[in-house]
């Protein structure tokens, strides 16, 4: 049990650092009201999670690996709270069309990325 806690903490630290750097790097290059960095990390995180579930078979089979990679890394790497705030901010600053695009694009890209990851690993039934 303590091993899983340490694995989650280590994965979270790595995922948060990766999110911070990748989001900033992309946003510095795109210069748009929509954070393409956040959209990218959410999509990439969903894809990686799909790959991990397809490869590891879920938390029951390899609890420490799942705690590190799925709960820790992917949970910290993806940015649903940041994405939610950005979407609301877009809507409140009279960028409703961009807010709707952000909402739809993130959901479609995230769901598609999980399906792709599962399909690539044979984890899709």
Quick one: pLDDT at residue 59? 62
Average the pLDDT over 59-68 and give the result: 81
Q: Which of 19-23, 53-57, 84-88 has the highest mean pLDDT?
A: 19-23
Quick one: pLDDT at residue 21? 97
Residue 49 in domain: yes
Find the length of the chain: 125
Domain ranges, residue 56 = 2-120
Sign of CA dihedral 24, 26, 30, 33: negative
- The domain tally of the chain equals 1
Residue 125 in domain: no
pTM: 0.79
Q: pLDDT tens-digit profile of 70-114?
A: 889 998 999 887 788 889 989 999 999 999 999 999 999 999 999
């Amino acid at each position: 049990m303590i091993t899983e806690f340490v694995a989650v903490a280590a994965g979270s630290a790595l995922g948060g650092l990766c999110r911070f750097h990748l989001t900033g790097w992309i946003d510095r290059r795109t210069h748009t009201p929509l954070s393409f960095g956040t959209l990218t990390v959410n999509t990439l995180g969903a894809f990686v999670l799909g790959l991990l579930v397809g490869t590891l078979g879920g938390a029951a089979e390899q609890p420490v690996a799942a705690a590190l990679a799925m709960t820790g890394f992917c949970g910290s790497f993806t940015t649903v709270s940041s994405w939610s705030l950005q979407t609301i901010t877009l809507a409140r600053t009279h960028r409703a069309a961009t807010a709707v695009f952000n909402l739809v694009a993130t959901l479609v890209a995230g769901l598609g990325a999980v399906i792709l990851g599962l399909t690539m690993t044979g984890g899709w039934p």
